[in-house]
Chains A and B, each alone.
Chain A
Amino acid sequence: MSPSKKGGTTTSDPVRIMGSLDRGKVDVDKLIAQSKNEIVLDFATCTFISVEGLEWLEELVIRAASSKLEVRFENIPPTIYKVFKVAHIDGILKACGAPSSRLGPVC
C-alpha cells in the first residue's frame, strides 16, 4: 500500500478487503493520514460485512472527506453491493459511484 505517482497525482494502490469486514482496518486509518488524493478499496475478495464494518466504512468516508480525500470502492460483489444498497448510507453509495442528486445519491 505504498503511495505511487501516476499521471502527476499521488494515488495509492487499492486496499483489498479480504474475507469478512467486521471491524475497522488500522492500516486503512493510517492510509488516510498518508494519502494525498484518493483511497481505493477493492472488495473483490470481501465475503461479508457486519454492522460494525458498515459503520467503519461510513466513518472512513466521512474522515476522508474532511481530509479532502476521495474514497472509491471497486470490484464489489453483488452480495456486498446489496448490503450497501439496503443500508442506504449516502457516503458509501457515493464511494460506489452512485451519481449525486439534490436529495443524495441515486441508488
Chain B
Amino acid sequence: MVVSVTKQDLSLDDRVEDLIRQARLAAAVFTQYSQEQVDRIVKAMTIAAIQNAVMLAQAAHEETRMGCAEDKVLKNYVASEFFYNQIRDKKTVGIIQEFTEDNMVEISEPIGVILALAPVTNPTSTVLFKSIACAKTRNSVIFSPHLMAANASNLAAKIVYEAALAAGAPTGFISWVEKSSRLRKETEQMMVHPEVDLIFATGGTQMVKAAYSSGKPALGVGSGNTPVYVHKTARVASTAMDIIISKTFDNGTECPSEQTLIIDREVAPDLLAEFKRLGCHVCSLEEVEKVASVAIDERTGGMNYRMVGQPAKKIANEAGLDVPASTKMLLCPLEGDIRKHKLAVEKLMPVLGFVLVDSVDQGINRALDINYAGGTGHTAGVFSEDDDVVEKFAEAINAGRVIVNSPTSIGGLGGVYNNLNTTLSFGCGTGGGNITSDNVGIKNLMNYKRVPRRKHFTFAFQTVKNIYVNPGTLDHLKSIDTKSAFVITSPSAGKRGHLSMTLERLPADCKVEVFSDVGPEPDFSIVEEVVAAMNRCRPDTIIALGGGSVLDAAKVIRLFYDYPGLNLKELAVNFLDFRHRIIEFPKHMKTKLVAIPTTSGTGSEVTPFAVIKDREEHRKLSLVDETLLPNVAIIDANLTRSLPVDVTRDTAFDALTHAVEALVSTFASDYTDGLALESMRLIFEALPACIIDPDDVVLRHKLHNAACLAGMAIGNASVGVNHALAHSLGARFDIPHGRANSAVLLSTIEYNARIPNKFVAISNYPVWIADRKYARAAQFLGLVPEEDGKPLSPEAVAAAVKALRLAIFELGTETGQPLSISECGVSMADFEKELPGLVMVAANDMAIKTNPRYTLKDEFVELFVSSYPRRSLK
C-alpha cells in the first residue's frame, strides 16, 4: 500500500485520487475498531512522537529557519505527551456519554476523511497533534504541509503512521502530500473533492480562507493579536518573566503570544526596569520607527513574514539598532492613538508593543483596541491579583481564551500552565470567522449521535387534603382551628341563608370578617379590594362560600394576600406542558382556605384552577397550579337544596362535561377514570329525578358528589376541546358555562371518537383510545353490555359511542337542557357573523392541549356548525 504520492509522473488528478481513495478505505475500515484497539494505536503513536520529539524539532528548525529548536521540542511534547495525557481516558468509540437523568446517550460517529493543513510555524507539532487526534476519533487524515516545511511535517506524519500501523491501524489512515511545486494545487483540489469530509485548517490566512470557501465543513483558525493588560496589582517580577517566556517562545511564532502590553502607569516603571534587568531592550521612540520598518510589511500593513520567528538580535540588526547579542525581546512604546500605530498588529517575532494607562477602564479599552485590530476571538491575557479586574477584563474582551497571570503562548496551548484543552489549533469563534472558539481537539473531530429514549412520564394525583362529605357536614366549621376567619361570598349567600348557616357554626372565639360582594365573573379589582380588607384584620383562614366564581376568586385572593408581589398576568401565561412552564408559583400557602360549594358543577373546591376576568383586556385569565388547591372542602348538599332548576341542570351538565372530557383527556389515568365514570353514573342516576323533586337532599347529595368527583378528575386530567368551544361561545353570547358545554357536547364526542386527522404529539399519550374510552363509559353506564374483559370490535366501539351520545341526548331532552347553540337563543345571523371570532378564541384556549385529538382550524368550524341546529339523534 502506497501511503504517499511519490510517483511524480502521475497526473495531478491521479495523485489526488490516490490519496483520497486510500483515506476513504481506511476511514471505512476504522469504523469497525473498538475503543481498546484505538487506544492501543494512540499510545503507540504518542510513544513514537516522544521518542522523535528532538529530532523532529531540529528538522523543522533546519527546514524553516524559524523559531528555536529547543522550544519546538517542547511543542512536540505538548502535542504528544500532554495531549495524550488529556485524551487517554476519553471515550471516542460507541457510547461516549450517558445522561441518565435525561434518559439519553451520546454515541460517536467518525467524521471520515479529514484534510489537515499544517503551518510553517509549527510544522511537526501540529502534525503530531492532528494525527493522534484523528486516530483517537477513528478518522483518516491527509496532511497538506506548508511548502516551506513539507519535509519536516511529512517526516512527523510518517513516524506516527508507522507506529500506528504496527499497532494495528488501518492501512493508509494517515497520508500526506509530498513536497513539490504542485503541493498547493493538489491541496486546492482536495479541498473541493467530494470524498473529503472535513478540512482542518491551521495555517496562513489565505489557506484558512480557502478552506472556509470550499463549501465543505471546515475547522479553521483565525489570526491573533493578543492584548495583555498588566494591572497595578500584578506581581512585577513574575509578570515580566512570564511575558518574556511567552513572547520569546519559539521566537514568538505562537499565535496566542503577547502582541501589545497595556500597563497601568503606576506599575510601569518597575515592570520596564525588570524587563531591562532580564535582558530585554526598551526602544526609544526613534528606535520604534526603525523596528516597525523591519517588523511590518509596508505594502500590507501586516507583519513582515521574513522576520517571523527570528531572534530579537537579528531583528534589531536589520533595524539598525545596537543591542547586545543576548537581547531577548524588543519592547516598543506605542505613542499616540494606538489604533493607528503600525506596530499594533500581530507580530510573530520577539517584538512587543506597550502602552501606559491610568485606570482599569482605560486599560480594558486599549486592550479592546488591540483585540479588535485583527485578533477578535483569539487570545488575550491579564495580569492582576484582583479577581474583579480579571472578570471585568474577560467579560469585555472577545477572545476564545483569556489567560490569567501566565504566559499567553504556552498558556494558550493548554496543559502546561492551566487546564485548558491541549491544542495546536486555536478556534477563534465568529470573531475570527471560525465555527468554534474551542481549543480544538478530539471533541471537534467527532459527530455526535444523540439517542434519547422516550420520556418517562410520572402521573401525579393531587387533590384537597380534607374533604368532608354528607348533608350537614357544614358542622365541621365548629371544630375548625382558626382565630380569625375571613368569609368570602356572593350576595345570594345571604339571601339563601347560607351565610348565616356558616357564621353561626364558626367557633365562638374566632374573629370573623365578611366580604359578600363577589358577583359573577369577578375581576382583579375585587381581589385587590378583598386583599386590602384582609390586610386590615389579618385572618389566618379564608372561608369561600358560593359557586365557582366565588371559590375561584377566593383562591386568587389567598394567593395575593400571602404573596402580594405576584404579577397576575405573568401567572396566567399560557403553557403547553405544565412540567416545563416558565412561571413558578409560590410553593406553600400561608393562609388556610376552606371551600364550601353551593352549586354542583365546577368542582372548584377540589381543582387547582382559578379563572379571573381581566377587564382591561376583555378576557378571562386562567391560573393553574397545585398551590391553588384549598386545604378543606365541605360538600354539604343542604346548601344546594334551594338551587333553581335551570341552574341545577346547567351545573350538572357542566359536571357531566368535566367527567366526559377528563375520561378521554391525554392526561387521563386510572385514577381520574374511576372518578369520571362514577361522576357520570351519579348524574345519569340523580339529575332527572332531581329536576322533578329538587328538595330531595339525597338526589342533591349525589349531584354534589358527582361535581366534586368530576372536579378531582379534571383537576388532574384537565378538559378538552368541548371546554374551548364553550369558553368561546359563553364569552361571546353570554351563555352560562354549563349550558355552553352541553350545547356542543354531542358534537365533540362524535368528533373525538373519529380517528384523528392529526394526532396529538405528547409522550404520555402513545395510543389514541378516545373512542374506546367513550365505549367504556357506555358499558359502565349499562348502555351496552360488558364483554367479559374482551376488547370490543371496532363496530362494537362505534355502537357504544352512539349509545353514549344517545343517552346524553335523552338526558338533556328529559331534563330540558339545551343541547345545541340554537337552543341557547343565538340567532343564525349572529352565529354566522361571529363564527370566525368564535373559532379564533377557541383555538387559543388552553383546554385544547389535553384533548385526545389535535383540533385543526377547519375542525373548529365544523364543531361549531354541527352544534348549531337542534339535535335529532334518533
Q: Which residues of B contact A79 (CB under 8 A)?
A: 31-32
- Which of the 9-residue segments B22-30, B273-281, B477-485, B779-787 touches chain A? B22-30
A60 within 8 A of B: no
Identify which of residues 42-68 in chain A touch chain B, using a CB-to-CB cut-off of 8 Å.
48-52, 54-55
Distance, CA A84 to CA B29, complexed state (A):
9
Asked if A51 meets B25 with Cβ closer than 8 Å, knowing A86-B112, A88-B195, the reply is yes
B715 within 8 A of A: no
Q: Which residues of B contact A52 (CB under 8 A)?
A: 1, 171
**Interface residue count for A (Cβ, 8 Å)?**
15
Q: Which residues of B contact A49 (CB under 8 A)?
A: 29, 32
Assess whether A55 is in contact with B31, with CB atoms less than 8 Å apart. Answer: no
For B164-182 the 0/1 string (1 means CB < 8 A from A) is: 0000001110000000000
Identify which of residues 69-84 in chain A touch chain B, using a CB-to-CB cut-off of 8 Å.
79, 82-84
Q: Which residues of A contact B29 (CB under 8 A)?
A: 49-51, 54, 83, 87
Q: Which residues of B contact A88 (CB under 8 A)?
A: 24, 28, 195
Distance, CA A48 to CA B28, complexed state (A):
11
Distance, CA A50 to CA B29, complexed state (A):
6
Identify which of residues 1-16 in chain B touch chain A, using a CB-to-CB cut-off of 8 Å.
1
Assess whether B32 is in contact with A83, with CB atoms less than 8 Å apart. Answer: yes
Assess whether B26 is in contact with A51, with CB atoms less than 8 Å apart. Answer: yes
Q: Taking CB as reference atom, which chain B residue is nearest A87? A: B28
Q: Taking CB as reference atom, which chain A residue is nearest B113? A: A86
Distance, CA A49 to CA B28, complexed state (A):
9
Mostly, the A contact residues are: helix
Assess whether A86 is in contact with B170, with CB atoms less than 8 Å apart. Answer: no
Q: Taking CB as reference atom, which chain B residue is nearest A86? A: B28
Q: Which residues of A contact B27 (CB under 8 A)?
A: 86
Assess whether B170 is in contact with A51, with CB atoms less than 8 Å apart. Answer: yes
Assess whether A51 is in contact with B172, with CB atoms less than 8 Å apart. Answer: yes
Assess whether A83 is in contact with B31, with CB atoms less than 8 Å apart. Answer: yes
Q: Taking CB as reference atom, which chain B residue is nearest A79? A: B32
Smallest CB–CB gap between A86 and chain B, Å? 4
Assess whether A50 is in contact with B28, with CB atoms less than 8 Å apart. Answer: no
Instruction: Tell me the number of A-to-B contacts counted with CB atoms below 8 Å.
Output: 42
Smallest CB–CB gap between A96 and chain B, Å? 13
Distance, CA A13 to CA B362, complexed state (A):
84
**Interface residue count for B (Cβ, 8 Å)?**
15
Distance, CA A89 to CA B27, complexed state (A):
13
Q: Which residues of A contact B32 (CB under 8 A)?
A: 48-49, 79, 83
Smallest CB–CB gap between A43 and chain B, Å? 13
Smallest CB–CB gap between B446 and chain A, Å? 15
Distance, CA A61 to CA B446, complexed state (A):
32
Q: Taking CB as reference atom, which chain B residue is nearest A54? A: B25
Q: Taking CB as reference atom, which chain B residue is nearest A47? A: B32
Task: Pick from A48, A82, A88 the residue with the most CB of B within 10 Å.
Answer: A88
Q: Which residues of A contact B170 (CB under 8 A)?
A: 50-51
Identify which of residues 138-176 in chain B touch chain A, using a CB-to-CB cut-off of 8 Å.
170-172
Smallest CB–CB gap between B649 and chain A, Å? 65
Q: Which residues of A contact B171 (CB under 8 A)?
A: 50-52
Identify which of residues 368-384 in chain B touch chain A, using a CB-to-CB cut-off of 8 Å.
none
Distance, CA A4 to CA B763, complexed state (A):
56
Assess whether B28 is in contact with A55, with CB atoms less than 8 Å apart. Answer: no
For B446-471 the 0/1 string (1 means CB < 8 A from A) is: 00000000000000000000000000
Distance, CA A85 to CA B170, complexed state (A):
17
Q: Taking CB as reference atom, which chain B residue is nearest A83? A: B28
Smallest CB–CB gap between A105 and chain B, Å? 15
Smallest CB–CB gap between A13 and chain B, Å? 27
Smallest CB–CB gap between A71 and chain B, Å? 18
Smallest CB–CB gap between A50 and chain B, Å? 6
Distance, CA A88 to CA B17, complexed state (A):
13
Distance, CA A87 to CA B140, complexed state (A):
12
Q: Which residues of A contact B31 (CB under 8 A)?
A: 79, 82-83, 86
Q: Which residues of A contact B1 (CB under 8 A)?
A: 51-52
Distance, CA A87 to CA B195, complexed state (A):
10
Smallest CB–CB gap between B19 and chain A, Å? 14
Smallest CB–CB gap between B171 and chain A, Å? 4
Smallest CB–CB gap between A15 and chain B, Å? 21
Q: Taking CB as reference atom, which chain B residue is nearest A92? A: B28
Distance, CA A61 to CA B21, complexed state (A):
17
Q: Which residues of B contact A50 (CB under 8 A)?
A: 29, 170-171
Q: Taking CB as reference atom, which chain A residue is nearest B170? A: A51
Identify which of residues 51-69 in chain B touch chain A, using a CB-to-CB cut-off of 8 Å.
none
Distance, CA A54 to CA B23, complexed state (A):
13
Q: Which residues of A contact B28 (CB under 8 A)?
A: 54, 82-88
Q: Which residues of B contact A54 (CB under 8 A)?
A: 25, 28-29
Q: Which residues of B contact A84 (CB under 8 A)?
A: 28
Q: Taking CB as reference atom, which chain A residue is nearest B33? A: A48
Q: Taking CB as reference atom, which chain B residue is nearest A20? A: B32
Distance, CA A20 to CA B22, complexed state (A):
20
Q: Which residues of A contact B22 (CB under 8 A)?
A: 51
Distance, CA A52 to CA B29, complexed state (A):
10
Distance, CA A84 to CA B25, complexed state (A):
9
Smallest CB–CB gap between A47 and chain B, Å? 8
Smallest CB–CB gap between B5 and chain A, Å? 17
Smallest CB–CB gap between A51 and chain B, Å? 4
Distance, CA A85 to CA B171, complexed state (A):
18
Smallest CB–CB gap between A87 and chain B, Å? 4
Report which B residues bind A (CB closer than 8 A).
1, 22, 24-29, 31-32, 112, 170-172, 195
Beyond A49-B32, A50-B29, A52-B171, 17 additional contacts (C-beta under 8 Å) are A49-B29, A50-B170, A50-B171, A51-B1, A51-B29, A51-B171, A54-B28, A54-B29, A55-B25, A82-B31, A85-B28, A86-B24, A86-B112, A87-B24, A87-B25, A87-B28, A87-B29
Instruction: Name 24 interchain pairs, CB-CB below 8 A, sorted by A.
Output: A49-B29, A49-B32, A50-B29, A51-B22, A51-B25, A51-B26, A51-B171, A51-B172, A54-B25, A54-B28, A79-B31, A79-B32, A82-B28, A83-B28, A83-B32, A85-B28, A86-B27, A86-B28, A86-B31, A86-B112, A87-B25, A87-B28, A88-B24, A88-B195
The 8 closest A-B pairs by CB, nearest first: A87-B28, A86-B28, A51-B171, A83-B28, A51-B25, A51-B29, A54-B25, A51-B170
